[in-house]
Structure 1
Amino acid sequence: MSKRIENFDIMSDPDNPQTVKFEDIQAALVRIRPYVPVTPVIPSHQSKTFTMNIIYKMESVLPSGSHKERGVANALLQIPRDFKKAGLVIASLGNHAYSMAYHAARMNIPITALFPDFIPIQKLQKIHALGTKVLVRGTNIADTHKIARAMAKEKGLFFINGRDHPHILAGLGTIGLEILEQVPTVDAVLVPVGTGGLIGSVGTVIKRIKPNCLVYGVQSELMPVFAKALELGEPITIPDVNTIADCLQVTRAGVNAFHNAKSVIDKMLLVKEDWVARAILALVEQERFVVEGAGACPLAAIIGHLVPELKTKTVVCLVTGGNIDSSFLARCLDRGLAAEGRLIKFRMRIVCEGRNLEHSLELKRALDRAYAGLTLFDTEPFNDKSMCPCYVVKI
């Protein structure tokens, strides 16, 4: 029996996981259509490179920059009327909260969003700007969820588990309906996986309408939480490790997510961090897309040659989001360039012998003029800390 802790989430009960039916997803699509537009599918410029017909499903173009809008809109439209005035409390790694803030503002529903302490400030500011109350609580998303549930009970707010609530999952599944409508010849769909809610719902649709279409999940090898759960046959908790695919940085698979996903996944793929960085770089350079680590994971699996069986096939890569911190993006691009051997950083140490002090000072001044602020001298009297005022640079 599951432990009935004080802030137990009845909508995510290990003893009674809830099945998201195909009909639930169909109804969700009708419900959210006034709020969430159809997202485009775009052929890749790299199809010839990888000998497969790669097509991107661009969830990153939604107003909040994430696929999370689908689940959020479906859930908000079904919350009890009494709570629409009191408001909601949620826990998030960023995208769920931003999507929730965006649509809750449109529906005039107050939101309190809790985040673990490693979330970039830029994300918090964007969410706060939409009128959401932002609080940093906990060191990982599991702890933040517990705190959010306790707050909901204490203050009479409505709690929605953005990664496991059945209404959220049904909304996410609408991506599958759109893919099959837009790319009827699809042979495989590659889906980023965190707790498993997205792939469970999308897979439910794919396997219902086109059973022969392959459904592959992709996770960072540093956080293989869902892959491990499938191996053991039940959700488990793993240590929290930082990953470029930060939106997939979860320590445990969802109860409902695992229940719905375990029978619709054909294969789980674990990608290296360097592959994710290279995928982000490729999407910027080749496609002109700015994509977060999670959204780049499907392409990372292709770059890492994990799917040779998909050669000549039509493959849809689900680009789940584009909310990447600008400074983090710069580091990812540098890492991608380095992984491809296109960026080299090094330091040179040169030892020179001068004829005399004046000759050595002449060399120092020439270097200072040519490389202002970039040269460091180790020996006295040329290093800045010990240089006598009489040796100042003479331009």
Structure 2
Amino acid sequence: EADPASIQIDASEIQAAVSADTKLSSEIEALQQRETEFTQALTRITEGSESAFKTLDQAVADGTARIERAMKEEYGTRIRESLARLKEVLAAWKQAASAMSSDWSVQWDALTGGADLLTCQTELDRAARQFIDTGSASLIQFRQRLEGISQDTEEPTKGLVLGRALTKDLQPAVDAQQEVVKLARSATLTGNLDLATIVQRVTGLRRQVSDRRAQIETSLRGKILDDLKKNREQTIRQRREQLTQRADDLDREIREHIENVRALVRRKDQQRTDLAERFRLQDERAAALRSLADIPREAPSAGPAAEPVLVEFMEAGVGSGEPADRRIVRSLLIGFGTLFVFLIGWLSVHSYQSWHRSRQAIEACTRELQAATRGQEGQSRRRDS
């Protein structure tokens, strides 16, 4: 089963579902309004920072120059050390302001370039806190050094005069530093309640929109997954039906093939039986022809020789004292005898001619049988080989 999270959804489908969701549309509209307010707030903060940084930079430069002039005068060691520490504090302010200005400039470019507002605010907050932390610690040192100069015991008069003068001359630097601190606090959530409220609302609306989008995407994935399951089940069902039909067709074809094979086997068996019977008859015929060929060729006897018939002619009218009717019978017998002898001779001749023709036919048949026998024996030898 497919994992719903692995299903890819087209962006157009998500956009269509988002547009159709009235709750999400209202939340997106509210988020856009809050993000507009958020952009305006960050823009106001970053736009006013450039002049503040320039003012601080100029005030630090002037303060540094004033301290350097004081260091050229004749003061004791403790005053000189305090002057040097004041100069280091001003240098720290300048360095911290430069770092903050650089970071804010990057975030200003990001804002104009359409970067994520919460990311820009986080980076502005980080740079501002670094400057605030550095400025707060250095400002304490700055005031301690000024008090130290005013309360110097080695040169109390000079120290008091110099302390008052430096407090007045370095106040612009202190004011500029505090102005940048104020600006930095305006970029932090703890220092700017309005900004914190906007950030909170934007964060909440983004969470709501993200959750609603996730719900819509989950619903879309579930729908797509259901469609995939239905399509898969339909495909499986169609495939099963196709395979079942194919199996039935194959069973029918196999049965037909088996019947054809059986019929072919029966035909082959009948052909083998017929062929064996044919060979048997041919063998019997060949044996009969061989037996016939072994019979000696003898001419049949012409039958008993006809005894010569003595025909005695007597003169008609010469009486022998025999009665006339007897003579008539005798004459008839003599005539029939002659006819009988003729018939016997004719039958003998005809029988000899018939026997001669039969003998010729038998010899021709014998030759044909011998030729057929030789052909059969040649086929048998080829079959055996």
The TM-score range, normalised by the shorter chain, is: under 0.3
| TM-score, normalisation: structure 2 | 0.19
More helix by share: 2
- Name which structure has the greater RCO, CA cutoff 8 Å, separation 6+: 2
| TM-score, normalisation: structure 1 | 0.19
More strand by share: 1
Q: Which protein has the larger Cα radius of gyration, Structure 1 or Structure 2?
A: 2
